[in-house]
Amino acid sequence: MSKFIFVTGGVVSSLGKGTAGASIGKLLQLSGIKVNMIKCDPYLNVDPGNMSPFQHGEVFVTRDGAECDLDLGYYERFLDVQTTRANTNTAGNIYLTVLDKERRGQYNGGTVQVIPHITNEIKKRFTAFEKDVDVTIVEIGGTVGDIESLPFFEAARQMKLERPGNVFSIHLTLVPYIKASDELKTKPTQHSVIKLRELGINPDMLICRTDRPLSDDIKQKISLFCSVPEEAVIEAMDQKSIYLIPENFYQQNADRQIIKMLGLKTKQKFDTSWFKFINENLEHKETVNIAIVGKYSELKDAYKSVNESLFLAGMSGKVNVHILYVNADKSDVVERLKDAHGILIPGGFGPRGMQGKIDTVAYARETKKPILGLCVGMQCMMIEAARRAGIKDADSAEFNPKTKHPLFTIMEAFAKEDDRPRVGAFPLDIKKSTAAHKIYGADKIEDRHRHRYSLNEKYLPALEKAGIRISGRCGDIAEIAELENHPFFIGVQYHPEFGSRPMKPHPLFRDLIKAAKEYKNKK
């Protein structure tokens, strides 16, 4: 029978349940155990696709087109899996599924209730991978006691009752330091566990977030008052990098305790290559500055996968990456690019900050600084080129619906789909003898998209006049554009940031960092 690990949180949100769960999953993987992860978000939105990044951070996109929480990016980067719709669930989606069944008469006229109808649907989602993996790790978002998350906790309680010996509960809490009394306080953890027990769940392991080491006395106190073995009180101190967390848990025998309690069988000698790579490449002697020019620069989580992709590319490229966040709305955009060795314009919707991004493109072209444009970044690159070719009022219909020269227009297939974008992985053909082909080293690739607008081909002659070459396509859709006689000037319609992994950075990010390093050394 497949095993399940539930990761819950208490005291405050944003303690790192996603990275903690992914780190546990990584340790199990390194023993040859097959793992996948599921995220359960308690909010009533069907998905975060319509939510502002200021509300929710980055919207991550799965291979099959689900718009979901940024924690799935952690799952993919740590576990090297490709997530799907089955990896993400929201309360809104679950309630919608149950109510649709009720409207179709599938409950035979019965009264529809949270228990058993909602909880049964949740348990069905929990078991999506049980035939394919040894362990499913389920992260329940929010904190214990949140009214929205109660059905998820109840479903987890039922799973533990129905599958004795096959379900393990991890609770993540905060052990805060109080400066006035110069001591760590365990009471928030105690109260969080009490609340969890009120819902019928006894934790098997506590992961305690702290900014300083937990003494043996503190661990003994938590163990005693929370009825958890002392060795199962895991210290989770702040780390220089999230990629050090698996080794931290390994040193405290967290994985071996789980393997023993769940009766798992390891399938290989523990592989320490992850630890070796992270420790050897976490810091290097040389640093390059990469400017991210976007409209959400105040919120780093809005570009979480971009940030991680740059960092991972730096690790493999033997260079530290220092990110300069540049607000595209401000008047000093170009001035703030002076210290950058490379530039990236990330995705985003709406016209805000467009002129700043277009000015950024012109600056990178003139100074020969490496630049990578993602989705809307590619639009800015093409608009700058078209205007330079003589079409002074060229624009995108996304930003200016009344423009006389719509360089980017909504794709016909998506014009009547209630504003839903083209989302998910699509195949691309890459032209030989292009910069893109050299970067990828392949004629055909696949990458993930989230957009509704594409290049209007009637403006291609003008773009070619400005030195632009279309080097990649998905059918008739222009997907990759590059500028001739520039060391690195690439715009892509898709989102390569979702494909980066430790030890396997995405080729576009890998070569952007390489070009930035060469630019710095040349200067």
pLDDT in tens, 34-53: 999 999 999 988 888 777 77
> Which residue, 229, 248, 277, sits at the end of a domain?
277
CATH number of the domain to which 224 belongs: 3.40.50.300
- Report the relative pairing of strands 287-294 and 320-327 from DSSP bridges: parallel
For residues 229 and 272, state if they share a domain. Answer: yes
Number of domains in the chain: 2
Greatest Cα-to-Cα distance within the chain, rounded to the nearest angstrom: 75
Q: What is the pLDDT of residue 415?
A: 55
CATH number of the domain to which 389 belongs: 3.40.50.880
Q: Encoding tokens for residue 325? A: 């966040």
In three-state secondary structure terms, 317 is: coil
* DSSP calls for 349-404: -SSTTHHHHHHHHHHHHHHT--EEEETHHHHHHHHHHHHHTT-TT-EETTT-TT-S
Q: What is the pLDDT of residue 419?
A: 62
**Confidence band, pLDDT 50/70/90 cuts, at residue 296:** confident
56 is catalytic: no
pLDDT at 284 over 80: yes
Is the previous residue joined to 116 through a cis bond, with omega within 30 degrees of 0? yes
pLDDT at 523 over 80: no
Place of tokens 């390194």: 30
Q: What is the pLDDT of residue 311?
A: 97
> Which residue, 277, 311, 336, sits at the end of a domain?
277
For residues 81 and 173, state if they share a domain. Answer: yes
Distances (CA, A) of 373 to 189, 410, 497: 45, 19, 11
* pLDDT per position as a tens digit, 399-439: 898 999 999 998 766 655 556 678 999 999 999 999 999 99
Q: What is the pLDDT of residue 13?
A: 85
Taking only Cα atoms into account, the Rg of the chain, rounded to an integer number of angstroms, comes to 25
* pLDDT per position as a tens digit, 377-400: 999 999 999 999 999 999 999 889
Exposure b/e, 479-503, CB count within 10 A at least 16 = b: bbbbbeebebbbbbbbbbbbbbbbe
Q: By the 8 A CB rule, do 477 and 511 touch?
A: no
375 is catalytic: yes
**Confidence band, pLDDT 50/70/90 cuts, at residue 446:** very high
Mean pLDDT, residues 99-103:
95
Mean pLDDT, residues 177-206:
96
Mean pLDDT, residues 311-319:
96
* DSSP calls for 434-461: SHHHHHH-SSEEEEEEEESEEE-GGGHH
For residues 211 and 62, state if they share a domain. Answer: yes
Q: By the 8 A CB rule, do 136 and 264 touch?
A: no
Q: What is the pLDDT of residue 417?
A: 55
Q: What is the pLDDT of residue 441?
A: 96
> Which residue, 277, 298, 331, sits at the end of a domain?
277
Q: Which long-range contacts (CB under 8 A, 24 or more apart) does 159-165 make?
A: 159/4, 159/6, 159/123, 159/126, 160/201, 163/1, 163/4, 165/262, 165/263
Q: Which of 171, 380, 497, 506 is catalytic?
A: 497
Exposure b/e, 337-363, CB count within 10 A at least 16 = b: beebbbbbbbbbbeeebbbbbbbbbbb
Q: Which of 56, 341, 449, 495 is catalytic?
A: 495
Global model pTM greater than 0.85: yes
For residues 147 and 243, state if they share a domain. Answer: yes
40 is catalytic: no
pLDDT at 145 over 60: yes
Q: What angle do CA 28, 84, 254 make, to 5 degrees?
A: 15
Q: What angle do CA 470, 472, 474 make, to 5 degrees?
A: 120
Q: By the 8 A CB rule, do 21 and 246 touch?
A: no
Distances (CA, A) of 408 to 47, 226, 389, 493: 27, 59, 16, 11
For residues 273 and 290, state if they share a domain. Answer: no
For residues 362 and 503, state if they share a domain. Answer: yes
Q: What is the pLDDT of residue 49?
A: 77
For residues 271 and 289, state if they share a domain. Answer: no
Number of neighbouring beta carbons within 10 Å of residue 373: 28
Q: What is the pLDDT of residue 55?
A: 74
For residues 514 and 369, state if they share a domain. Answer: yes
For residues 120 and 70, state if they share a domain. Answer: yes
Q: Which of 68, 208, 375, 380 is catalytic?
A: 375
Q: What is the pLDDT of residue 302?
A: 86
Q: By the 8 A CB rule, do 12 and 240 touch?
A: no
Number of neighbouring beta carbons within 10 Å of residue 188: 15
pLDDT at 266 over 70: yes
List the domain range (segments joined by +) for residue 108: 3-277
pLDDT at 132 over 80: yes
Mean pLDDT, residues 181-188:
94
For residues 225 and 350, state if they share a domain. Answer: no
Exposure b/e, 421-442, CB count within 10 A at least 16 = b: bbbbbbebebbeebbbbebbee
Q: By the 8 A CB rule, do 79 and 29 touch?
A: yes
For residues 98 and 246, state if they share a domain. Answer: yes
**Confidence band, pLDDT 50/70/90 cuts, at residue 295:** confident
For residues 318 and 233, state if they share a domain. Answer: no
